[in-house]
Every structure is written in structure tokens, then in C-alpha cells.
Amino acid sequence: MSGAGWALHAGSLAYAYAGGAAVFKDVSLGVRPREIVALLGGSGCGKSTLLRVLAGLQPPSAGTVQFLGAPLTEPNPRSALVFQQASLLPWLNVTANVGFGLDFSHQPRISRSEHAQRVQQAIDAVGLAGSEKHYPSALSGGMAQRAALARALARQPELLFADEPFSALDAITRAGMQTLLVDVVHRWHTAALLVTHDIDEAILVADRILLMGGSPGGIIREWQVDLPRPRLADSAAVSQLRNDILSTLQGVRSAASTPVESTI
């Protein structure tokens, strides 16, 4: 598999922290343009480490990463990241937070009016219109995460990396954010790689699910999710896929005899 035709492509990746055993090895994966891929796995299996390597934040111990067909050695300005914590700057209001970094030197140069337009479009898209002047201390967790998503969208990324972006939110807010993510990714024509340990989140959001596990970690199996949207957590097709993922995990974990729950 080469990098051509993929937004992101990785071949035979391995990673070990200094002095440590391999966190993962032999990981090859791709994300197509406009595709939403969920990287699903239990706590500690190496998802965040793999995401950081794929985003160019950490060099792999072995293997290659290609972004838009070119080797990736540092974070690319045509990608954007969203993490579990919104990490907004407390002294900037929503508009300034969303626009923050857009004019950094490694970003493509844009005019003042385009800057303002992009920021406002992103704020509107995540439903924060009217809250532009609010400071992070005045935002709920869900609103802060919307602002973080808007900051990513304002870069008009080809690929959005998201590491458990909704796991700190309550169930109702999380469900709304999952729908919003799918909506904005489709409207922005962006691909997304979503790290999650929530099986239902992966099924409700992703076009394709990569299940990560083992020690050192690897991609155990993948599922193409061709179910129509919006997907309902209690539909028969979703239940069937959930059971298939759970039984795959059960098989992988039977040696370790670890109990498996729907949030892994």
C-alpha cells in the first residue's frame, strides 16, 4: 500500500518510549479523503501514542507516515488536533481562541478578512454563535469542546485528529457532539481519525473502525460501517456490530481473562 490516494497513510509503524518496550509494532493503516476512521481500543493499548506518531508529533521508531502523499516529519498545517481537554487559552475569548494560531508562520497566509470569516464560519458551524465574546471560564465543558472543534475547523484541515474528544462530557452532551462531529466533517469535506475507547461512539460516528489491541499493540481487525445515518444505538444492525466487536475483543483478551464492557 503506498500513500497515493490516501489523506493519511502509515506503513509498518512501531514505537517504543526511551528505555521501554514497544508500545505498538507493525501498524499499517490509511485514512481516505473525507473518511471518518475510529481507532478503538482499551486503555493503555497505545492509541494516543499512535495518534501522536500519525500526527507528526513524535517520530516513529520504525516505519513511515505519509500525509497527502508526502512523508510526514512534523505536524502538517493542513491537519488539526482536538484532545480530551479543550485546552483553550483562558485570557482569550471564544473568537480569539478559535482564531489563535491561524496566522502562525507555518500556517498558509490568509488575509485579515478571510481570517475573520473562517473564524466566524467555524463558530457558527459548532453552534457557538452568540458566545463569541465569552471567556473559557464562562463556558460549559461541551461549549469548550465546541470551541476547540471550531479552532480545528478554522484551519480548514484535510484531516482532523481527535483523541477521545468527548470522553470528559456527560452522556447527553457527548451524543450531541458526536452528531456535530459527523455533520461538520461532512460539511467541511474533512477526513477524521477519532481515537475512542467507546464502542458505541465508534459505531455511531465512523465509516470504518480499526480495533487496536495486543501487546505490543497492533490493529487486530477492521470493520467497514456502511449503516445509514443517523445511526441509533438501539438498532439491530448497531447491536450486531457491537456484539461482533465485543466477541473479537473477548477472543483477544481470553488469555488475559480481562472482563470486557461496552466502554473498553
Ligand X SMILES: Nc1ncnc2c1ncn2[C@@H]1O[C@H](COP(=O)(O)OP(=O)(O)OP(=O)(O)O)[C@@H](O)[C@H]1O
Positions that interact with Mg ion (CB under 5 A): 48
Smallest distance, Å, CB 157 to ligand X?
Answer: 21
User: In sequence order, what are the residues at sequence separation of 6 or more whose Cβ sits closer than 8 angstroms to the Cβ of residue 229?
Assistant: 182
Kindly report the number of other CB atoms within 10 A of residue 252's CB atom.
17
Element containing residue 10 per DSSP (H, E)? strand 8-16
Smallest distance, Å, CB 25 to ligand X?
Answer: 13
Which residue lies nearer to ligand X by CB, 26 or 132?
A: 26
- Would you give the DSSP letter of residue 109? P
Measured between alpha carbons, how far apart are the two ends of the chain, in Å?
30
Q: Judged by CB under 6 A, how many residues of this single chain contact ligand X?
A: 12
Which residue lies nearer to ligand X by CB, 53 or 192?
A: 53
Q: What are phi and psi of 141, to 5 degrees?
A: -55, -40
177 HSE (CA, 13 A, CB side): 27
Site for ligand X in 11-50 (CB under 6 A): 17, 20, 23, 41, 43-49
Q: Which partner, ligand X, Mg ion, none, binds residue 197 by CB below 5 to 8 Å per kind?
A: ligand X
Smallest distance, Å, CB 225 to ligand X?
Answer: 21
Which residue lies nearer to ligand X by CB, 126 or 199?
A: 199
Which residue lies nearer to ligand X by CB, 125 or 169?
A: 169
Which residue lies nearer to Mg ion by CB, 234 or 261?
A: 261
Which residue lies nearer to Mg ion by CB, 48 or 131?
A: 48
- For position 157 contacting ligand X by CB under 6 A, the verdict is no
Q: Which partner, ligand X, Mg ion, none, binds residue 20 by CB below 5 to 8 Å per kind?
A: ligand X
Distance CA(115)–CA(127), nearest Å, equals 19
- Would you give the DSSP letter of residue 217? B
Using alpha carbons, select from 121, 136, 127 the residue that is nearest to residue 87. 136
Bridge-based pairing of strands 159-163 and 191-196 is parallel
Smallest distance, Å, CB 58 to Mg ion?
Answer: 13
CB 149 within 8 A of CB 192: no
Smallest distance, Å, CB 46 to ligand X?
Answer: 4
Residues near ligand X, by CB under 6 A = 17, 20, 23, 41, 43-49, 197
